[in-house]
Structure 1
Amino acid sequence: QLSFVRKVAKRRSNISLYADELGKGFVDELDYNIEADNATKFLDTHSKYSFVMVPKVLKQLTRKRVLTMEWVAGENPRELLSLAKGISGSIAQLSEKQKLDAKARLLDLVNKGVEASLVQLLETGLLHADPHPGNLRYTPDGRVGFLDFGLLCEMEKKHSRAMLSSIVHIVNGDWASLVYDLIEMDVVPPRTNLRRVTMDLEDTLGEVTYEGGIPDIKFSR
Structure 2
Amino acid sequence: MIGGQLKRFAKARKDLLVAVNEMVRHMFDEIDYILEARNAERFASLYSDCPSNGYLCPYNVLMSTVHGQTCNQNSKDGITNKTKNASGIKVPKIYWDLTRKAVLTMEWLDGIKLTDETALKKACLNQRELIDQGVYCSLRQLLDVGFFHADPHPGNLFATSSGFLAYLDFGMMGDIPRHYRVGLIQVLVHFVNRDSLGLANDFLSLGFIPEGVDIQSVADALQTSFGKGTQRSQDFQ
Q: CA deviation at 1:112?
A: 0.9
Aligned to 2:171: 150
Quick one: which of 212, 215, 225 aligns to 1:193? 212
Asked if 2 retains the 8 angstrom alpha-carbon contact of 1:173 and 1:207, the reply is: no
- Tell whether the 8 Å contact from 2:197 to 2:219 is kept in structure 1 after alignment: no
Q: Give the whole-Å Cα distance in 1 for the aligned partners of 2:35 and 2:125.
A: 36
What percent of counterpart residues are identical? 32
- Amino acid in structure 1 at the alignment position of 2:105: T
Q: Structure 1: 5+ residue runs without aligned partners?
A: 1-10, 89-97, 216-221
Q: 1:52 to 1:206 in 2, by over 3 A?
A: same
**Unaligned stretches of 5+ in structure 2?**
1-11, 52-87
Aligned residues: 185
Instruction: Give the deviation of 1:183 after TM superposition.
Output: 4.0
Matches within 5 A, 1:111-190: 111-170=132-191, 176-188=197-209
Say if 1:61 and 1:107 are closer, same or farther in 2 by CA, change over 3 A: same
Q: TM-score, normalised by structure 1?
A: 0.67
Matches of residues 1-221 of structure 1 in structure 2 within 5 Å?
A: 12-49=13-50, 51-80=88-117, 83=118, 105-170=126-191, 176-188=197-209, 192-195=211-214, 199=218, 202=221, 207-208=225-226
Q: Distance in 2 between matches of 1:173 and 1:152?
A: 31
Q: What RMSD over aligned residues (CA atoms) do the two structures have, in Å?
A: 3.4
Output the CA distance in 1 between the equivalents of 2:152 and 2:220.
Answer: 26
Higher helix share: 1
TM-score, with normalisation over the residues of structure 2? 0.63
Q: How far apart, in 2, do the equivalents of 1:16 and 1:198 lie?
A: 30
Deviations 1:88-135 (A, max 9, x none): 8xxxxxxxxx85x67952111111111112222333221111112211
CA distance in 2, matches of 1:197, 1:187: 15
**One-letter identity of the residue aligned with 1:48:** D
Deviation of 1:185 (Å): 3.3
Matches of 1:198 and 1:31 in 2, distance apart? 46
**Alpha-carbon contact 1:55-1:72 (below 8 Å) kept:** yes
Change (3 A) 1:68 1:179: farther
Shift of 1:30: 1.9
Q: Distance in 2 between matches of 1:201 and 1:18?
A: 30
